[in-house]
Each structure stands twice: as structure tokens, then as C-alpha cells.
């Protein structure tokens, strides 16, 4: 597990390159925000989390498998990850931020992802709106 990175992952880099090509500028991993979102648009008060399907348990995804050994340990670990994600999104919502979760498997279709990101960033949604597919 020491080889698992928390930032600059392949899915995160795909999203960052896509946003940059769409002329959006952003900040990375803001420590002062709950959950330390991967991509932050401070002026828009919007945050994007890029989650790996395996680690953050994307429901219905083929990458969400359960290891065969030490199943109890892994079940607890995954549940803590999901709970921590929910807590971070709730705290951001309470602080007036909108969040968007991009799953690893969604990064394969850049056209669809680009339209979703554009819609999220350009929407003048009420503060605290949360979009996530679980």
C-alpha cells in the first residue's frame, strides 16, 4: 500500500489536463478545505474530488472488487474511506461549497467528462450542491 499515491494519480492528471485544455484555472489539494479536494476553484466555491473506483467503492463499477484475503480488514478500511468522503462533502456543503466527484472509470470518455465538468463549473447552482454517483 505504500506505493498507492494520494495525488497526481493518472485519473487526476486526466481531469486536470482536460480542465486546463478547456481554459479553466484551478488550485490543487487545498489543505484548509475539508477532505483536501483534488481540484479547487476558489472564486466559484467549487471543488472536485477524483476518486479511484477501488479505494472509494464506486457502486456498480467492475473495479470495485473485494480482496480475497483479510476480508474483514478490507471491508472496514473501505467503509472508513466512504464515510470520510461523505463527511468531507457534507462539511464543504455546510461551508457553502459545491462538490463534484469524478470516478476513475469516468475518465475514459473525455467528451462526456468534459461536458459534465463544464456543466458543473458554469452552473449557478445553489451553494452547497453536491453531485456524486454512488
pLDDT for position 7: 82
- Residue 3 falls inside a structural domain: no
What is residue 127's predicted lDDT score, i.e. its pLDDT? 52
What are the distances in angstroms from CA 100 to CA 35, 65, 73, 83, 107? 13, 23, 29, 16, 14
CATH code: domain of residue 29 = 3.40.960.10
From residue 32, give the alpha-carbon distance in Å to each of 36, 66, 85, 88, 97: 7, 33, 16, 12, 13
Give the pTM: 0.88
- Give the whole-angstrom CA distance, residue 66 versus residue 134: 17
Q: Which domain holds residue 109?
A: 10-131
Residue 4 falls inside a structural domain: no
Work out how many domains the chain is built from and give that number: 1
| Tens of pLDDT, residue by residue, the chain (134 residues) | 556 677 889 999 999 999 999 999 999 999 999 999 999 999 999 999 999 999 999 999 999 999 999 999 999 999 999 999 999 999 999 999 999 999 999 999 999 999 999 999 998 755 555 555 44
Amino acid at each position: 500500500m505504500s506505493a498507492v499515491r494520494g495525488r497526481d494519480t493518472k485519473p487526476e492528471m486526466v481531469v486536470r489536463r482536460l480542465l486546463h485544455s478547456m481554459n479553466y484555472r484551478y488550485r490543487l489539494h487545498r489543505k484548509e478545505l475539508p477532505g483536501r479536494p483534488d481540484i479547487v476553484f476558489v472564486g466559484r466555491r467549487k471543488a472536485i474530488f477524483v476518486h479511484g473506483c477501488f479505494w472509494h467503492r464506486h457502486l456498480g463499477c467492475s473495479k470495485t472488487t473485494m480482496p480475497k484475503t483479510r476480508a474483514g480488514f478490507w471491508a472496514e478500511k473501505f467503509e472508513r474511506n466512504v464515510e470520510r468522503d461523505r463527511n468531507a462533502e457534507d462539511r464543504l456543503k455546510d461551508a457553502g461549497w459545491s462538490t463534484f466527484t469524478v470516478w476513475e472509470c469516468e475518465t475514459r470518455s473525455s467528451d462526456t467528462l468534459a461536458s459534465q465538468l463544464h456543466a458543473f463549473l458554469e452552473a449557478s447552482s445553489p451553494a452547497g450542491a453536491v453531485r456524486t454517483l454512488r
